[in-house]
Chain A
Amino acid sequence: MIEKIVEKFQNQLIRFAFYRIGSLEVAQDIVQDVFIRFFEKKQDFKTMENPKSFLYKSIGNQCIDYHRKNKIEFISIDSISESHFINNSNHYELKAEYEQITHLLNCLPEEQSEILKLRIIDELEFKEIAEITGIPVATAKSRFRYGIDKLKNKIQTKNVVNNEL
């Protein structure tokens, strides 16, 4: 049972945490931590209606905690990422992609950026997104649409500027 749940969700949860933290090692640490706490409460997870939603919510909260803690300790995400990604070209590619995507999402309000991440990066259905974020499905859809429209303009403007240059 435990093995099956870990196998089923591990990749998507690490990716989910990674795109909130920016460090692969910290992301897997958080996912492990959440899995262990999840299984420690055996009675809970066996009767739980939607373990996937619970896992996403818990990891999301852990990521927020991590940011809060690191903000106080003045540790930048970049420095953590660099130290863990050293000597691994694949890690560098992953990091480059993370920075590219994060840079685009940074121009959106947090609530829209979050929905775009959940839908596009985590490939969750709107119903699942609504459960995890605690908002109605229609709101999730409209935030998604607004976010997409803003990025369309940004990408178009970027192309025009590039052409002019």
Chain B
Amino acid sequence: MNCNEFNEQLTEYISISQLSTEMIEHKQICINCKKESEQYFNVISSLKPKTKIIANQEFKESIINNLNKTKKMKNPFIKTKTIVRILSIAAIFIIALIIIPLVNNNQENLLVNSAKAAEKMFEKSIYALRNINNMVITLNIRTLEGDNFELIGSDYDFVEHTIKREFIGGNKWKIEKPSREVSFDGQNQYLFIKNAGYAIKGDKNAGFVEWLKKLLNPAELFELEIKNSQQCENCSYTVDKSSSDILLTINSKAKGNFDNPYLKNSSITESDSKILYTFSKEYNLLKGLKVFIINNEKEELILNIEDIKYNIQLTDNDFNINLPDGIVWQTPEKVINNKLFANISSEEAAKLFFEACSKNDWEKIKDVFAIISDSDNKQNDEIKEYLGGLSVISLGKSFKSGLYPGEFVPYEIKFKDGKIKEMNLALRNDNPNKIWMIDGGL
């Protein structure tokens, strides 16, 4: 699909959740069309009534009664229109309209098991978010302090994260945990890996955070949940209004290919999970979120949000990352064209990578292994020292797992100090030149 086709087809949709797969895919790779569709649905959302009007049984009965009366009273000396008018005006007093404003409805059941009820709750919250300028979320995730923002694991301890988000102006955001900070200033994304002393500046689409980014846009997250609720066959929904808050629970099965289960339970979407949203009854805003991974029928809490502050005083400084002395922002080459790592299998790419490490040939791999940059800072030297001179004991057959777009190559290596490491090297080539990049697993 090209941009013209996208724009032409866009006017056929009045809900973002109805977009065709082709359009969603195009939107993901085209910044202009993504922006265009965001603005388009913003207008649609501004004009779409959230309060439903539903006539009750009496409305219909009143019409039928009026028709019967009109028939009986038909008189050549009285104009039909006048009778109908009088009757219909009289009917105003016996007709009641049930207005379901998605905000309060005392007649609703307190506990509803249905995707439709969940959909309504999400719609209400999306509507409530229209008045939100910013938010600060404090959350705990079971992960490793020093690892990326994607990793989760039930064996890990909780690590506190903070998310700051500005919905107006430049749409700035910042996510931080003790060892990493990532931010967006409206133009670029910045990632600072504190323990590696590595600071990287990417463009606005740099994938420094993936699934966690969903929490930056609650309205988009809820749109996705609405879409899922309409499509997901392995999901169940419960909305409980019996307590002081509204509790919405979703149970769902892992998504992805798990012929090889390496990534099963490594992220929320790649796990059987239970997600519990807590909304305030008064404002319909998200108050809390708990995500449980269900492993062997046991629920394990993986992510927990207990505090979200809305519309508080934030300054530009809240979204900045202040680098320590001696560390500067690195900008990776935008187009990687290391032909050595193109047109080969992931196994061959892994072999090339380890060979370069064993020969300390960093020039050969610097653009496919982003953490080794031109800079000669101390931390890069440490990484080179760690990997340099290793020898490969064995390389296994590559495999795919879960939703990861790349492949994993099992390896066993011996470091120059004699230590042996056995793991899976993660490589991905989803870039324009199909170059294999070393993405993790070291």
A141 CB contact (under 8 Å) in B11, B14, B85: B11
Q: A93-B101, A101-B49, A155-B46 are in contact. Are A36 and B70 (CB under 8 A)?
A: yes
Residue B196, interface by CB 8 Å: no
Q: How far is the CB of B99 from chain A (nearest CB, A)?
A: 5
Q: Are A148 and B51 in contact (CB under 8 A)?
A: no
Given contacts A14-B97, A120-B44, contact A97 B51 (CB under 8 A): yes
In the complex, chain B residues whose CB is within 8 Å of the CB of A10 = 55, 59-60
Contact A15:B49 (CB < 8 A) given known A28-B95, A39-B67:
yes
Is residue A11 contacting chain B, with contact meaning CB distance below 8 A? Answer: yes
Total residue contacts A-B, CB cutoff 8 A:
122
Tell yes or no: B104 within 8 A of A by CB.
yes
**A11 adjacent to B55 (CB under 8 Å):** yes
Give the one of A90, A155, A156 with max B CB within 10 A: A90
Total A residues in contact with B, Cβ cutoff 8 Å: 50
Q: Are B50 and A14 in contact (CB under 8 A)?
A: no
- Verify A152–B89 contact, CB threshold 8 A: no
Asked if A35 contacts B63 (CB within 8 A), the reply is yes
Residues of chain A contacted by B144 (CB below 8 angstroms): none
In whole angstroms, what is the CA distance A144 to B14 when docked? Answer: 12
Interface centre among B14, B52, B88 (most CB of A within 10 A): B88
Q: How far in angstroms is the closest Cβ of chain B from A157?
A: 12
Does A32 lie at the interface of the complex (its beta carbon under 8 Å from any beta carbon of B)? yes
Contact A116 B63, beta carbon cutoff 8 Å: no
| 19 A-B pairs with C-beta separation under 8 A | A6-B59, A6-B63, A14-B55, A28-B55, A28-B97, A29-B88, A40-B70, A94-B99, A94-B101, A100-B46, A101-B49, A104-B47, A105-B47, A120-B47, A126-B12, A141-B11, A145-B11, A155-B46, A159-B168
* A positions within 8 Å CB-CB of B: 2-3, 6-7, 10-11, 14-15, 18-19, 24-25, 28-29, 32-33, 35-37, 39-40, 89-91, 93-94, 97-98, 100-101, 104-105, 116-117, 119-121, 123, 126, 141, 144-145, 148, 151-152, 155-156, 159, 162-163
- List B residues at the A interface (Cβ < 8 Å): 11-12, 14, 39-40, 42-44, 46-55, 59-60, 62-64, 66-67, 70, 80-81, 84-85, 87-89, 91-92, 95, 97, 99, 101, 103-104, 168-169
Beyond A28-B97, A35-B63, 13 extra complex contacts between A and B, CB < 8 Å: A6-B59, A7-B60, A11-B53, A19-B49, A28-B55, A32-B63, A36-B63, A37-B81, A40-B70, A101-B49, A104-B47, A120-B48, A141-B11
